[in-house]
Amino acid sequence: MSNHAINRRDFIKGSAALAAFGAFAALTGCTAGGSGAAAGSSDDADKAEELTMVWLPDNSAADLTAARDAFGAAITAACGRPAKLMTTTDYNVAIEAIASGNAQMALLGAEGYVQANKKNKAVQAAFTNSDDEGGLEGACYYSRICVRKEDADAYKDGDGYSIANVEGKSFSFVSATSTSGFKVPSSAIVSEFGLDGSDVLLEPGSFFSEVLFGNSHAGSCVNLMSGDVDAAAFDDVDVDMYLDLVEGEKNTVGAVYKVKDDAEAPLDSARGKEFVIVGITPVLNAPVCFNNDAISEEERTKIVGYFCSDEVSNNPQIFVDPDDESVKGIFEKDSEKTCFVEVDDAWYEPIRKLGA
């Protein structure tokens, strides 16, 4: 399998998505990273036309190369075509790649998927990672608004915390096309303050004194921990591998997280620093999607069937052991029943409604 790194300047400039949110319990993140050929790929597969899969910035990190390679090898096992893994440094590049058909497959956040589908209806959700019971009812992760621990008292609300005091502060989002790094947190703020929309949140000096973008969830966390902003939005699944929970219950308001003493880049500069969650919302798990005009129905059926099989759900390189800190993965084997399950476009309708 080959790797193709691409940046915004080399590609078509994508359009940024501005959106609104609310207390809706549903919704969802690339740097250039290299990887080699899929292990076990046949000579026939090597001669076949490559199938390109594009990855968002957080999933393009170098330390996830093995996880991407395992995913690519599974694509080849399913349909016989070698996988080209396109890593990116910009959300819009990934969205444009799948919408244009330059990539046949993508793993996008829920909002990124909605944006790609809006550009081209041929982009359709295919499958996502399940909840602990192997279904969709609890298939979610979390969007968090966080502040540094030393500043947390300013966000106190009785015995807990709230986002009521973020107005006038400096703030970091992930990207304007990130579900959990923009759409969900911005919508929460719009709802909390009764704003007309999220546009004002992007204008420095309007609602926030300053607005930064991390371009990845880890990057937004770095913006917070480095002191560049007062508060920041980022999710759990893309940063928790760098963190230890030191106080409270996981993914709840008031929980305190500490950057690990041996955290790797980009959080290596924030080792030992702590933050507190002051706002949190569940988000629909990210879909793996196809551009149906760029890949045959037969191949789509083979890929979906294989990825939703026990062979993939029990592959420790695709679903990594969450207790094994030596292994970095995109998906975790949270229970014996964790697997990929089929989804369709309608499952992401709640995301569209947030922007209505």
Residue located via tokens 């999220």: 198
Q: Which residue has the tokens 């759990």?
A: 236
Task: Clarify whether residues 305 and 222 are in a common domain.
Answer: no
CA distance 57 to 163: 27
> Over the stretch 71-103, which tens digit does the pLDDT of each residue have?
999 999 999 999 999 999 999 999 999 999 999
Is a pLDDT exceeding 90 seen at residue 356?
no
Contact present, 75 and 51 (Cβ < 8 Å): yes
In this structure, what are the phi and psi dihedrals at residue 312, rounded to the nearest 5 degrees? -80, -40
The reported pLDDT for the residue numbered 355 is 59
Q: Quick one: 279 and 303 in the same domain?
A: no
Residue 355 lies inside a defined structural domain of this protein: no
So what's the pLDDT on residue 10?
34
- Note whether 249 and 321 are same-domain residues: no
The answer to whether residue 31 scores a pLDDT higher than 60 is no
| pLDDT mean over 256-273 | 96
Is 249 exposed, middle or buried, given 0-12, 13-18 or 19+ CB atoms closer than 10 A?
Answer: exposed
Q: Mind listing the pLDDT tens digit for each residue in 314-329? A: 999 999 999 998 899 9
CB 141, CB 237: distance < 8 Å: yes
Do the beta carbons of residue 287 and residue 127 sit within 8 Å? yes
Residues 307 and 270 in one domain: no
Displacement of CA 156 from its chain's centroid (Å): 29
- What average pLDDT does this structure show over 12-27? 31
Average pLDDT over residues 274-293: 96
Of the listed ranges 3-17, 61-75, 100-114, 277-291, the least confidently predicted one is: 3-17
- Determine how β-strand 256-259 pairs with β-strand 274-284: antiparallel
pLDDT interval class at 1 (50, 70, 90): low
- Does residue 20 register a pLDDT over 60? no
pLDDT band at 13 (very low <50, low <70, confident <90, very high): very low
Is 354 inside any structural domain? no
CB-count burial class (<10 Å; 0-12, 13-18, 19+) for 154:
middle
108 and 33 belong to one structural domain: yes
Averaged pLDDT of the chain? 88
| 44 burial level (CB within 10 Å; 0-12, 13-18, 19+) | exposed
**What is the distance between the alpha carbons of residues 164 and 158, in angstroms, rounded to a whole number?**
12
pLDDT value, residue 353: 80
DSSP one-letter code for 177: T
Domain CATH number, residue 58: 3.40.190.10
Strand partners, 47: none
Give the per-residue pLDDT at 177.
87
Helices (H), the chain: 43-47, 65-79, 91-100, 110-119, 184-193, 217-225, 297-307, 310-313, 349-354
The answer to whether residues 169 and 261 belong to one domain is yes
User: Does 85 share its domain with 171?
Assistant: no
Residue 27: pLDDT over 70: no
CB 258 within 8 A of CB 267: no
In-domain check, residue 356: no
| Residue that finishes a domain, picked among 236, 252, 284 | 284
Q: Which residue in this structure is represented by tokens 């294989």?
A: 306
Q: Which residue has the higher pLDDT, 48 or 270?
A: 270
Q: Are residues 296 and 279 in the same domain?
A: no
Greater pLDDT, 18 or 294: 294
- Residue 123 sits in the same domain as residue 185: no
| 12 has pLDDT over 80 | no
282-306 mean pLDDT: 97
| Dist. CA 313–CA 333, nearest whole Å | 8
Residue type, 32: A
Note the pLDDT tens digit of each residue in 194-246. 999 999 999 999 999 999 999 999 999 999 999 999 999 999 999 999 999 99
Domain boundary among 284, 306, 340: 284
Q: Is residue 330 part of a domain?
A: yes
In a domain, 86, yes or no: yes
Query: Do 97 and 107 share a structural domain?
Result: yes
Max Cα distance, the chain (Å)? 65
Tell me, yes or no, whether 7 and 96 share the same domain.
Answer: yes
Q: Is the pLDDT of residue 262 over 50?
A: yes
75 lies in some domain: yes
Please give the pLDDT value at position 271. 97
Separation in Å, CA 280 to CA 26, 116, 164, 173, 177:
12, 26, 13, 14, 19
Which distant-in-sequence residues (6+ apart) come within 8 Å of 105 by Cβ?
51, 52, 53, 54, 75, 98, 288, 289, 290, 291, 295, 303
Q: Are residues 241 and 200 part of one domain?
A: yes
Structural domain range at position 73? 2-20+27-133+286-349
* pLDDT number for residue 141: 92
Domain boundary among 248, 268, 284: 284
- Total domain count for the chain? 2
